[in-house]
């Protein structure tokens, strides 16, 4: 249903995500008059704040995380903020929340970013006090389960109070400008689509590397690991966007219908097609960092790195490996998709000793936001010793191409879409379940084989077996 919500409840209003991302995003949207002028934001969490002390709390977060040129907007934004303390395990506290929110007939958006253990009680509480009516929609922040079964439980609980068209499952990668640009690149240009298939593409690489370690998320991360924290959601969404058929429209149904077909076509991974690792003490950028077990304070078999050779079993992609790798404490922070095209069928320059390298398209998502196509060019000269070829990049830097456009963070886009009710960049239930199905099958395989992550030194590109995984196919990672 299309309506712009006039009220927004922020669960987890004192949490890290709220301070770093949600409050700054909402403040920016408010400053640019992109949200309804009369929007009221009701924060809720266990902490004992009242409106005034929550505004002070929010002001501190905004002073810390907003860019300098946005800070003038803080006072006006604070006036939209209200607070109601709530212990979600106590159903008797929900009526007070409903009273604080007041009339929701003009539309309510709810952003739920709470511990998974509180999900079901929170949904039941919302339903019991009338906050899950037809004029309310809910955004769900990860983690949405740790397996297919647990994600189904969460999905069932939410579905008992909200219809699917009112459920907005967040994958913040979909809010990133460059991720959305992938669709423009593929479907607003004639250039790539005729080549975007197994006849012309040799393989695809997707890397999401991070330099950070546990970052104080001890409780959560050790129960998840890289596969469930990064591959199940963000990386599989990238795979789906790279591999999907052209949707007929840029709308929620058409786009998600095509993505889910890809996710359902992922082949079960065999033992030889994945590598897991866990970082040991090392150095990043010249700074010594401890190993995972030292950060955790005990030994653990949770993987902080995973590399996978994935396959999509359909006509377009048969025989094209998708090499995926992600890890913590790698040498640099980088999210990048590389499309490696095939060799030309016949090189007319081979007789002259010149070698034509196959083209590569690299889509930099972060921190570099660029699209780089490597093409072969003739080296300038009179060619007395024969033609010499050289790879040169056609490089589009997004910040340069769109200089003067304000750079928005992913949550600005996602919060605005939640408030306005556009589900295109949110994950549908069938997608999440297809993602979990593939991940669960892989984890079952690990368990059967008693697979332990291989150690790697912090600051390296993961265990050496991750290099071997691609090298035996004659491929090198694009480091």
Catalytic residues: 234
Nearer to ligand BG6, 210 or 273 (CB): 210
3-state secondary structure at position 93: helix
**Min CB(246)–ligand BG6 separation in Å:** 27
Number of neighbouring beta carbons within 10 Å of residue 34: 16
Least distance in angstroms from the C-beta of 134 to ligand BG6: 31
Measured in whole angstroms, the distance separating CA 168 from the mean position of its chain's CA atoms is 14
Residue nearer to ligand BG6 on the CB measure, 202 or 369: 369
Q: Which is nearer to ligand BG6, 229 or 295 (CB)?
A: 229
Q: What's CA 199's distance to the chain center, in Å?
A: 29
- Of 312-351, which residues contact ligand BG6 (CB under 6 A)? 335
Is the Cβ of residue 210 or residue 431 nearer to ligand BG6 in the bound state? 210
Q: Which of 370, 376, 372 is nearest to 392 (CA)?
A: 376
202, 229, 295, 303: which one binds ligand BG6 (CB under 6 A): 229
Q: How far is the CB of 322 from ligand BG6 (least distance, A)?
A: 19
295 binds ligand BG6 (CB under 6 A): no
**What 3-state DSSP class applies to 402?**
coil
Which helix (H) or strand (E) segment holds residue 187: the answer is helix 177-187
- The residues in 196-215 that bind ligand BG6, with binding defined as CB under 6 A, are 210
Tell me the torsion sign for CA atoms 315, 317, 320, 326.
Answer: negative
Cβ-based nearer residue to ligand BG6, 178 or 335: 335
Shortest Å distance, C-beta 229 to ligand BG6: 5
Give the residue nearest to ligand BG6 (CB): 229
Is residue 467 within 8 A of residue 323, CB to CB? The reply is no
Residue 136, strand partner residues: 108
CB of residue 354 vs ligand BG6: minimum separation in angstroms? 40
* Binding-site string for ligand BG6 from residue 356 to residue 375, where x marks contact by CB under 6 A and - marks none: --------------------
Backbone angles phi, psi at 364, to 5 degrees: -85, 120
Residue 288 sits at φ, ψ, to 5 deg, of -70, 135
Site for ligand BG6 in 251-280 (CB under 6 A): none
**Least CB distance to ligand BG6 at residue 427 (A):** 13
Q: 108-112 and 287-289 as β-strands: parallel, antiparallel, unpaired? A: unpaired
Distance of closest approach, residue 226 Cβ to ligand BG6, in angstroms:
8
Instruction: Tell the smallest beta-carbon distance from residue 414 to ligand BG6 (Å).
Output: 12
Neighbours of 239 (CB within 10 A): 24
User: Across the strands, what pairs with 44?
Assistant: 11, 84
Question: How far is residue 66 CA from its own chain's centroid?
Answer: 22
Please, which residue, 141 or 417, has the CB nearer to ligand BG6? 141
Specify the DSSP class assigned to residue 17: H
In a 13 Å sphere around the CA of 352, the CA atoms on its Cβ side amount to: 13
Nearer to ligand BG6, 229 or 273 (CB): 229
Phi-psi region of 338 (alpha: psi -120 to 50; beta: other; left: phi over 0): beta
Cα–Cα nearest to 229, from 208, 258, 259: 208
CA atoms of 360 and 371, how far apart (whole Å): 10
Which residues contact residue 24 at a Cβ distance below 8 angstroms, ignoring those fewer than 6 apart?
Answer: 61, 62, 65, 66, 70, 409
Cβ distance to ligand BG6 smaller for residue 84 or 237? 237
Question: Which pairs from 247-253 meet CB under 8 Å and 24+ separation?
Answer: 247/187, 250/183, 250/424, 251/424, 252/422, 252/423, 252/424, 252/426, 252/428
Q: Could you list the residues that contact ligand BG6 (CB under 6 A)? A: 210, 229, 335
């Amino acid at each position: 249903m299309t309506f712009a919500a006039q009220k927004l409840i922020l669960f987890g209003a004192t949490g890290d995500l709220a301070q770093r991302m949600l409050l700054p995003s909402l403040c920016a949207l408010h400053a640019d008059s992109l949200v309804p002028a009369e929007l009221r934001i009701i924060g809720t969490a266990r902490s004992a704040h009242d409106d005034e002390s929550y505004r002070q709390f929010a002001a501190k977060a905004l002073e810390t995380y907003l860019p300098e040129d946005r800070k003038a907007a803080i006072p006006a934004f604070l006036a939209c903020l209200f607070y109601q303390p709530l212990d979600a395990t106590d159903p008797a506290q929900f009526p007070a929340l409903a009273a604080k929110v007041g009339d929701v007939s003009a539309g309510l958006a709810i952003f739920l970013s709470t511990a998974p253990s509180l999900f079901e009680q929170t949904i039941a509480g919302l339903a019991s006090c009338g906050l899950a009516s037809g004029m309310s929609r809910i955004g769900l922040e990860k983690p949405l389960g740790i397996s297919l079964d647990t994600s189904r439980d969460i999905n069932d609980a939410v579905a008992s109070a909200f219809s699917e068209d009112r459920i907005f499952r967040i994958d913040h990668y979909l809010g990133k400008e460059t991720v959305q640009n992938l669709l423009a690149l593929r479907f607003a240009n004639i250039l790539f689509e005729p080549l975007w298939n197994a006849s012309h593409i040799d393989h695809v690489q997707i890397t999401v590397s991070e330099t950070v370690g546990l970052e104080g998320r001890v409780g959560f991360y050790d129960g998840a690991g890289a596969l469930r924290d990064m591959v199940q959601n963000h990386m599989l969404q990238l795979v789906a966007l790279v591999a999907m058929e052209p949707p007929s429209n840029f709308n929620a149904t058409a786009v998600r219908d095509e993505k889910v077909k890809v996710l359902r076509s992922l082949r079960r991974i065999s033992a030889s097609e994945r590598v897991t690792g866990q970082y040991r003490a090392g150095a990043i950028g010249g700074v010594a960092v401890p190993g995972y077990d030292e950060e955790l304070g005990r030994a653990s078999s949770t993987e902080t790195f995973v590399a996978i050779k994935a396959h999509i079993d359909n006509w377009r992609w048969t025989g094209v490996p998708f090499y995926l790798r992600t890890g913590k404490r790698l040498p640099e922070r980088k999210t990048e998709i590389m499309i490696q095209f095939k060799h030309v069928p016949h090189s007319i320059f081979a007789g002259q000793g010149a070698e034509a390298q196959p083209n590569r398209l690299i889509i930099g998502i972060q921190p570099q936001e660029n699209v780089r196509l490597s093409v072969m060019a003739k080296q300038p000269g009179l060619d007395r010793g024969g033609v010499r070829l050289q790879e040169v990049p056609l490089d589009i830097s997004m910040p340069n191409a769109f200089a003067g456009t304000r750079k928005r963070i992913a949550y600005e886009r996602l919060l605005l879409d939640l408030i306005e009710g556009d589900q295109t960049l949110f994950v549908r239930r069938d997608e999440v379940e297809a993602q979990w199905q593939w991940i669960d099958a892989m984890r079952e395989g690990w368990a059967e084989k008693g697979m332990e992550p291989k150690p790697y030194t912090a600051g390296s590109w993961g265990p050496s077996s991750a290099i071997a995984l691609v090298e035996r196919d004659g491929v090198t990672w694009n480091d």
